[in-house]
């Protein structure tokens, strides 16, 4: 390291503050709830060679996708980069994108005609056109059905807006005022990044700042290699499943991984995973890389920045034509659920190597839905949201309730926002008792959200999973409860698939329940005091306390029957049985 470590730490935090401010800027001024409230976006700064130096707030799962998109920009634009340019893209096959609702934006940062790097922000848009509002339907079968494909193109050329591109986007989407408003908010955030990095160059000088880039890359590489070296050498395998692809409902989809650790290098090989599927859950290789980097990062102690140095000791392999590296024109709008399953499969593999550092899986990733229709005045409206969340249990770590999956780091929209933006009434929003996987450290509880449609007719799109393949437990922990989808029409309740598009009529209500998280460790080793606290808080029922944990809780007032608890646990020990699952 050529710099004083203290000075490098100051530079690292200063760059981090710049990219964080980009996120805070777009959140403050964006139009759509998916950006303002859910915060489905991510920011970064890349140097002039396209190497990611720092990532900002929000989605860790965008970590590995930015380099692929950056590479496409450099390949397409070459030396045709000038002050005042802004470049966008979204296409996953020709431009390094992930899926069409995610628009990448790149703003080159110049200091006295010297290209310092690029302010980068990727944001999820409410609609990109296509056959289904929201552009994320899991039952699309080719990318042409999913919306407007944007290649690498200059949105602004030397400070002049390319109005043809703005018009092309506006005419292809259902809510042009919202989409164009978000696009302008994204532009403003990139200008904030440009301003911040220019100020840092003035403070430290270009030469020192660029040397700091090199030092930060090396720092993250060392941290990654140190983490990998703590994993015993060997090959660790695991297979997890997606329930279906939204088109063939009875076909489970395997995700297989072999984690090959050799010294400070690691290969994640997904050979044997499902071939490319008909539905839209095919996952681009860039997003698979993101999932891999996050899974490795999750067992890391260092606070080294997320940058291209972190990627150096990691190799990711997925066969072309597979669900994790699809060929065009494979549909991929709902690819997010597959990325989450990649993370869970890696957790299962690493649990055999370093179980003390791995949590059981959470709910399986975001449940994405959109409701779109016309109000009484004939105006089109659309509401889009992602629902999560919980964390699984880990060694000495309780599962968490009502929080975002750590790979996504997004939020559920407040009920007031939902009801203000669309003709919807939030009837229930709650945690579900007994849904967390039993364990010495319990898995987080499922989240229930029930919405009633108050308009005349709408289209409902929903993508979920983990109904038939529940979040698994680790080291004897129990599985989480399955996800469910129900449609209420009067007194009748209809069970819906995990992934679907269907009409929604006025007065009908839809209920979604996420899966519960997996537990960690033997449930009969759980501290009875913790079981009692869960009963008092309504997280575990007395019946489940007895069956799943071997703890008799009487009341109210609630108290542990210690003699009965000892007897229950002794009986299980003598029989050699496992704790019972409570449905």
- Please tell me the total count of domains within the chain: 3
Separation CA 481–CA 478 (nearest Å): 9
Asked which of 137-151, 257-271, 476-490, 566-580 is least confident by mean pLDDT, the reply is 566-580
Is 561 within a domain? yes
| Domain co-membership, 543 together with 478 | no
Is 333 within a domain? no
Of 198, 220, 242, the one marking the end of a domain is 220
| Domain co-membership, 508 together with 391 | yes
| Domain co-membership, 500 together with 535 | no
> Are 213 and 45 contacting, i.e. CB atoms less than 8 angstroms apart?
no
Specify the 3-state DSSP secondary structure of 15.
helix
| Domain co-membership, 94 together with 210 | yes
Of 172, 203, 220, the one marking the end of a domain is 220
Average pLDDT of the chain, as a whole number = 94
Structural domain range at position 569: 526-575
pLDDT value, residue 413: 85
Residue 375 has pLDDT above 80, yes or no: no
Give me the sign of the Cα torsion angle 134, 136, 141, 145.
positive
* Per-residue pLDDT reduced to its tens digit, 344-365: 999 999 999 999 999 999 999 9
Helix (H) or strand (E) run with residue 190 in it: helix 176-204
pLDDT value, residue 574: 66
Residue 209 has pLDDT above 80, yes or no: yes
| Domain co-membership, 434 together with 569 | no
Token pair 């380099």 is found at 67
Q: Residue 63: pLDDT band by 50, 70, 90 thresholds?
A: confident
| Domain co-membership, 499 together with 571 | no
Q: Rg (Cα) of the chain, in Å, rounded?
A: 24
Torsion of CA 366, 182, 71, 143, to 10 degrees: 60
Residue 582 has pLDDT above 90, yes or no: no
Residue 391 has pLDDT above 90, yes or no: yes
Q: Residue 288: pLDDT band by 50, 70, 90 thresholds?
A: very high
| Domain co-membership, 515 together with 541 | no
Which ranges constitute the DSSP H helices of 274-389? 285-297, 308-311, 336-350
Is 457 within a domain? yes
Angle between helices 206-229 and 176-204 (to 10 degrees): 100
Is 583 within a domain? no
Name residues whose C-beta falls within 8 Å of residue 20's C-beta, 6 or more positions apart in sequence: 43, 56, 57
Is 227 within a domain? no
Q: Quote the tokens at residue 76.
A: 């397409």
Name residues whose C-beta falls within 8 Å of residue 382's C-beta, 6 or more positions apart in sequence: 126, 127, 133, 134, 174, 175, 370, 371, 372, 373, 422
Name residues whose C-beta falls within 8 Å of residue 403's C-beta, 6 or more positions apart in sequence: 388, 389, 390, 391, 444
Is 258 within a domain? no
* Per-residue pLDDT reduced to its tens digit, 233-256: 999 999 999 999 999 988 899 999
Residue 2 has pLDDT above 80, yes or no: no
Q: Count the alpha carbons within 13 Å of 534 in the hemisphere toward its beta carbon.
A: 38
Output 583 or 4, whichever has higher pLDDT. 4
| Domain co-membership, 396 together with 539 | no
| Domain co-membership, 99 together with 51 | yes
Asked which of 313-322, 415-424, 518-527 is least confident by mean pLDDT, the reply is 415-424
| Domain co-membership, 431 together with 540 | no
DSSP tally for the chain: helices H, then strands E: 13, 22
Of 189, 220, 251, the one marking the end of a domain is 220
Is 382 within a domain? yes
| Domain co-membership, 374 together with 506 | yes
Residue 579 has pLDDT above 70, yes or no: no
| Domain co-membership, 405 together with 431 | yes
Helix (H) or strand (E) run with residue 380 in it: strand 380-387
* Per-residue pLDDT reduced to its tens digit, 495-545: 999 999 999 999 999 999 999 999 999 999 999 999 999 999 999 999 999
Q: Quote the tokens at residue 434.
A: 């007994």
> Are 64 and 286 contacting, i.e. CB atoms less than 8 angstroms apart?
yes
Q: CA–CA distance from 376 to each of 111, 158, 380, 415, 531 (Å)? A: 53, 45, 10, 22, 50
Q: CA–CA distance from 570 to each of 369, 565, 576 (Å)? A: 47, 8, 10
- Omega before 355 within 30 of 0, i.e. cis: no
Q: What is the mean pLDDT of residues 473-498?
A: 96
Q: Residue 104: pLDDT band by 50, 70, 90 thresholds?
A: very high
Separation CA 33–CA 25 (nearest Å): 14
Specify the 3-state DSSP secondary structure of 347.
helix
pLDDT value, residue 250: 81
Find, among 461, 462, 458, 451, the residue nearest to 379 by Cα.
458
């Amino acid at each position: 390291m050529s710099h004083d470590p203290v000075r490098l730490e100051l530079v690292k935090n200063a760059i981090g503050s710049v990219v964080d401010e980009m996120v805070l800027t777009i959140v403050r001024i964006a139009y759509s709830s998916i950006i303002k409230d859910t915060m489905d976006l991510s920011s970064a700064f890349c140097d002039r060679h396209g190497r990611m130096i720092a990532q900002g707030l929000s989605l860790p799962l965008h970590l590995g996708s930015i380099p692929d998109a950056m590479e496409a920009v450099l390949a397409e634009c070459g030396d045709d980069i000038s002050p005042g340019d802004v470049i966008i893209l979204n296409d996953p096959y020709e431009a390094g994108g992930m899926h069409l609702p995610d628009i990448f934006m790149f703003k080159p940062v110049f200091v006295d005609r010297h290209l310092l790097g690029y302010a980068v922000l990727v944001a999820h848009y409410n609609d990109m056109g296509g056959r289904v509002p929201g552009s994320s339907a899991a039952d699309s079968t080719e990318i042409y059905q999913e919306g407007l494909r944007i290649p690498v193109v200059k949105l602004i050329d030397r400070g002049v807006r390319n109005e043809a591109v703005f018009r092309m986007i506006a005419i292809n989407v259902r809510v042009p005022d919202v989409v164009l408003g978000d696009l302008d908010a994204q532009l403003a955030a990139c200008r904030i990044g440009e301003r911040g990095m220019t100020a840092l160059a003035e403070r430290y000088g270009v030469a020192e700042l660029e040397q700091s880039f090199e030092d930060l890359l090396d720092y993250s590489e060392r941290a990654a290699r140190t983490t990998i070296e703590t994993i015993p050498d060997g090959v660790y395998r695991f297979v997890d499943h997606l329930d279906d692809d939204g088109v063939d409902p009875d076909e489970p989809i395997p995700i297989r991984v072999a984690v090959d650790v050799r010294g400070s290098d690691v290969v994640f090989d997904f050979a044997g995973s499902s071939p490319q599927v008909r539905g839209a859950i095919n996952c681009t290789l860039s997003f698979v890389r993101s999932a891999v980097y996050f899974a490795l990062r999750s067992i890391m102690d260092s606070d080294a920045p997320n940058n291209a140095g972190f990627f150096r000791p990691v190799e990711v392999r997925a066969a072309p034509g597979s669900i994790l590296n699809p060929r065009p024109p494979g549909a991929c709008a709902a690819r997010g659920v597959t990325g989450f399953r990649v993370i869970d499969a890696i957790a299962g593999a690493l649990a055999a190597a370093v179980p003390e550092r791995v949590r059981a899986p959470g709910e399986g990733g975001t449940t994405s839905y959109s409701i779109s229709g016309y109000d009484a005045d004939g105006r089109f409206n659309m509401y889009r949201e992602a629902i999560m969340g919980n964390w699984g249990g880990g060694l000495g770590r309780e599962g968490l309730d009502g929080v975002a999956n750590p790979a996504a780091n997004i939020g559920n929209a407040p009920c007031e926002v939902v009801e203000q933006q669309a003709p919807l009434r939030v009837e229930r929003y709650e945690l579900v008792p007994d849904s967390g996987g039993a364990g010495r450290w319990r898995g987080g509880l499922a989240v229930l959200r029930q919405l009633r449609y108050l308009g005349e007719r709408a289209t409902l799109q929903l993508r979920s999973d983990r109904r038939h393949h529940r979040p698994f437990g680790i080291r004897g922990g129990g599985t989480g409860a399955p996800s469910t989808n129900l449609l209420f029409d009067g007194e009748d309740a209809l069970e819906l698939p995990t992934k679907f598009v269907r009409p929604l009529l006025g007065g009908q209500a839809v209920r979604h329940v996420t899966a519960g998280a997996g537990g960690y460790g033997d449930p009969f080793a759980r501290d009875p005091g913790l079981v009692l606290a869960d009963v008092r808080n309504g997280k575990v029922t007395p019946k489940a306390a007895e069956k799943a944990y071997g703890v008799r809780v009487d009341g109210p007032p609630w108290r542990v029957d210690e003699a009965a608890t000892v007897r229950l646990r002794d009986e299980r020990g003598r029989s050699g049985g496992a704790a019972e699952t409570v449905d």
